[in-house]
Amino acid sequence: MREEFKLDDRVVVICHPEKPNGKWALKTEYFDAFPEVQNKLLDMGYYVAHIVNKTRWHHPSDTDARAQLADYMTKRFGVSKKCVIIGMSCGGMQGIYFASKYPELVSCMYLDAPVVNLLSCPAGFGKGMSIFDEFHQHTGMELTELLGYRNHPLDHLPNLVKHNIPVILVSGDADTVVPFDENGKYIKDIYEKNNCIIETIIKKGGDHHPHSLPDNTPIIDFILKYDCGA
């Protein structure tokens, strides 16, 4: 069953499993896009939830709204306090900000071609796609400000490392929108340097889309292994 309602003026979407297992996943953006992993979790008893962002480029209130949703999920459905993050592209960025501020609410993360370095995407320095006009429209930030910005998703990775939040990272090696070596590689490198839990899957010849894998078994297996709930 799919349910939609408003929580403090934000639209919430919750998909209910037929046989709940007490766990839940939070998809941080693009709820209906590339739903294979979330649908599999739903079939396995997970609730799958989403709360609409003010902007896909992240507004601080978006992070706090997710914490409010987590509290709602626990109180209404009795699910675990910690959720599985499903973050694709800008959703990966949103997931990083959330896990950094509220690590106690995250058991593990599936990040797929995540935006980690805003100078790569949306600014378009290096090999990333320039979509800065949209970013400016939604955040009000000028390019000159971004050059000295110290609140990129990559700036929050040390807190994920501090709490050793397990990550499965999926990216294509030919991504023309959010290049792996300018984004996801930051996660891979800092996790490996600090002996944190990470599994990296690089799709040979893969562009930004489609997300996920032809066979998502490795992603599901990782989630089941590291979703400690609690």
> For the chain, what are the domain ranges?
2-226
Q: Return the SS3 of 98.
A: helix
Cβ within 8 Å of residue 164, ≥6 positions away: 196, 197
- pLDDT, residue 230, reads 56
The DSSP code sequence of 107-166 is: EEEEEES----TTTTTT--TTS---HHHHHHHH---HHHHHT---SGGGGHHHHHHTT--
Burial class (CB in 10 A: 0-12, 13-18, 19+), 197: middle
Q: Are 114 and 177 in contact (CB under 8 A)?
A: no
The CATH number fitting domain 2-226, selected from 3.50.50.60, 1.25.40.10, 3.30.70.260, 3.40.50.1820: 3.40.50.1820
Residue with tokens 């110290």: 150
pTM as predicted:
0.96
Q: How far apart, in whole angstroms, are the C-alpha atoms of residue 117 and residue 123? A: 9
Burial class (CB in 10 A: 0-12, 13-18, 19+), 136: middle
- pLDDT, residue 189, reads 98
Q: pLDDT digit string (tens) for 123-148? A: 999 998 889 999 999 999 998 898 88
Query: How do 83-88 and 106-112 pair as beta strands?
Result: parallel
Mean pLDDT, the chain cut into blocks of 10 residues (230 residues total): 95 98 97 97 98 95 98 97 98 98 98 97 90 92 89 97 98 97 98 98 96 97 88
Burial class (CB in 10 A: 0-12, 13-18, 19+), 195: exposed
Q: pLDDT digit string (tens) for 48-79? A: 999 999 999 999 999 999 999 999 999 999 99
| Residue 11: DSSP 8-state | E
